[in-house]
Amino acid sequence: MNIFNVASEELEQTVLKASPTRLVVMTYDGAIKCLESSIDMIGKGDIEGRWRSVEKATDLISDLYMNLDHDQGGEVAQNLGCLYGFILSNLPRINFYNDKQTALDAISILKRLRDSFDELDHQIAANADVAISGNSGANASVAL
């Protein structure tokens, strides 16, 4: 069996089992990794690698933007939309001008958002654990 197939299957299982907030964290992680890669590619003079990294980051941030639920998220979704729009409008600078600072600025914003969603995900999981362990008798099998 190919190691890449195993890694791909493991990632697929992780995604399938992940909560919605964990999926958001994973998307942030991917975008951050791509932007960090674009900085490395600038340093190496790898134009194609830089372009691919920025393109992947753009796709991931666009996914975050397109999946905002403005009805349920209200002002938070609106503010996230503004941040994503700001980042997306500046990402071309990385490719056009080899602009590391734009990548660093985007990474800084995304890391703060990622950490907030990570904390939220942990709180949701902790609350779910309390709710499950708090039920005795009828729902005891859920904890298995």
Total domain count for the chain? Answer: 1
Q: At which residue do the structure tokens 């980051």 appear? A: 57
pLDDT in tens, 26-57: 999 999 999 999 999 999 999 999 999 999 99
pLDDT digits 0-9 by tens, 122-138: 999 888 776 676 654 44
How high is the pLDDT of residue 56?
A: 99
Mean pLDDT across the chain: 88
User: What's the mean pLDDT in 9-15?
Assistant: 69
DSSP notation for 59-86: HHHHHHHHT--HHHHHHHHHHHHHHHHH
Is residue 76 assigned to a domain?
Answer: yes
What pLDDT score was predicted for residue 2?
67
pLDDT at 1: 57
On whether residue 143 sits in a domain, the answer given is: no
CB atoms near residue 62 (< 10 Å): 15
Name the packing angle between helices 20-44 and 100-134 (round to 10°). Answer: 160
Structural domain range at position 80: 19-122
What distance in Å separates the CA atoms of residue 144 and residue 134, rounded to the nearest whole number? 14
Q: What are phi and psi of 47, to 5 degrees?
A: -65, -45
User: Per the domain annotation, does 142 fall within a domain?
Assistant: no
Task: Judge whether residue 96 has pLDDT over 80.
Answer: yes
The domain spanning residue 113 has which CATH number? 1.20.120.340
Within the chain, strands assigned E span none
pLDDT bucket at 140, cuts 50 / 70 / 90? very low
